[in-house]
Structure 1
C-alpha cells in the first residue's frame, strides 16, 4: 500500500471512529460550552497575555510581567507554527467532510473548512497553559485541565479530529519550551552585560 493510500485509509478510519462525538455537535451541552472554545481563539489568548504583562508593569511586579511576556511569546510562536502547518496540509473539518474525509498536501488554502490540521485553538491554549505552569507551578493542574477541555471541545464540536488536537497540543508544548529558552538566553545576555559594566566601573574607579 502506497503512502498516500495509507494516509487516506487512516483518515477514513479516524473519521468513522469519530461519528459518536460528531453526533454531539448540536447538543445543548456542547453549545453551552462553545464560549470556552471561543475563549481559546487567537485574539482572546493574546489579550490575556498582554493584559498580564501590562498588569505586572503597572503593579511593578516582575514575576507577573515575566509571566505575561512568556504567555505572549509562547502564543505567538504557537500561532506561527500552526499557521505554517495548516498551509502545508489540506484536511477537511469533520463537520464538513460528510462521508469523504480528505488529507492532502497543502496548497496554502484560505478556506477554513479545509485547514483542520492542526488545531490552532489547542496549540494556543496549551502554549498559554504551559507558560502559566512555568511561572506558577501551583496553577499547573487547572491550567492544563482547561487547555485539555478546550481541545476536547474542538472534537465534540466537529471542528477537529483527535489527531488535529494532539498535533496542536504538541505545537503548544514546543512553543512554550522555545519561548522559555529564548527568554532565558535573553535574560542571561542582560545579566552578562550588567556584570561587564559593573566590572568596568570597578576597574575605572577602584576603591
Structure 2
C-alpha cells in the first residue's frame, strides 16, 4: 500500500510518540488489554455478563454486539486485509521490546480495533450506559495496537470506521429485509 509522504511522516511521528509512552500505567495496563483482546476474549466475556446479568435488554445488547463484531472481523480480516498489503511499522520506530510478537498479516486495517468498535457501538445502541463502559477498553485496545507496534494510527482509524460500518450494517439489515418482504 502506497501512503502519501505527508501522511507517512505524521504516522511515523505519532507511532513513535505513542510507542515511547513509558509510564507504569502503560507498562501494566496495555499488555493486559492486548491479552484480553486477543481472539475477542474481552468482548465475548462482556457479552456473557450482559446476557446473564442484564435480562432481556442485556441479551439483546450482547447478541447485537457479537453479531456486529463478527461482521467487522469478516470485513477487516477476511476482506480488507486480503485486498490491502501493508507491512507493520518498522521495528526501529518502536523503542521497546514488544515488536517481536507481531502478526505476519497485513497491518491494514486493525482487526482488533474493528471488532472492539463494532461490539461497543452495537451495545451502545441497545444499552447506552453499558456501551459507554465498553468504550473505555475499546479506546485502550486502539492505543495498544499502535503502542505495541502492531499498527499504524491510520490502520486503527480504518479499523474503527469498519467497526462502525459493521454496526450500521447489522442494525439496518432487519429493516431492509422487512421492507423487502412487505
TM-score range, shorter chain: 0.7 to 0.9
Greater C-alpha Rg: 1
Aligned mates of 2:26, 2:149 — CA distance in 1: 10
Question: Which residue of 59, 78, 86 corresponds with 2:81?
Answer: 86
Aligned mates of 2:51, 2:57 — CA distance in 1: 12
Question: Which residue of 11, 17, 25 corresponds with 1:20?
Answer: 17
* 1:170-185 paired onto structure 2 within 5 Å: 170-184=161-175
Matched residue, 2:155 = 164
Give the Å deviation of 1:116.
Answer: 1.2
Matched residue, 1:145 = 136
3-state DSSP of counterpart to 2:149 = coil
Give the Å deviation of 1:52.
Answer: 5.2
Q: Report which stretch shifted further, 139-148 or 117-126.
A: 139-148
Counting matched residue pairs gives: 170
TM-score normalised to the size of structure 2?
0.76
3-state DSSP of counterpart to 1:112 = coil
Matched residue, 1:38 = 35
CA displacement 1:84-139 (0-9 Å, x = unmatched): 11111222222x4547xxxxxxxxxxx93351111111111111111110111233
Question: Which residue of 104, 108, 127 corresponds with 1:136?
Answer: 127
Tell whether the 8 Å contact from 1:45 to 1:128 is kept in structure 2 after alignment: no
3-state DSSP of counterpart to 1:40 = helix
3-state DSSP of counterpart to 2:150 = coil
TM-score normalised to the size of structure 1?
0.68
Give the Å deviation of 1:177.
Answer: 1.0
CA RMSD of aligned residues (A): 3.1
Q: 1:77 to 1:45 in 2, by over 3 A?
A: farther
3-state DSSP of counterpart to 2:85 = strand
Tell whether the 8 Å contact from 1:52 to 1:65 is kept in structure 2 after alignment: no
3-state DSSP of counterpart to 1:92 = coil
Tell whether the 8 Å contact from 1:78 to 1:175 is kept in structure 2 after alignment: yes
Structure 1 unpaired stretches of 5+:
100-110, 194-207
Structure 2 unpaired stretches of 5+:
94-101
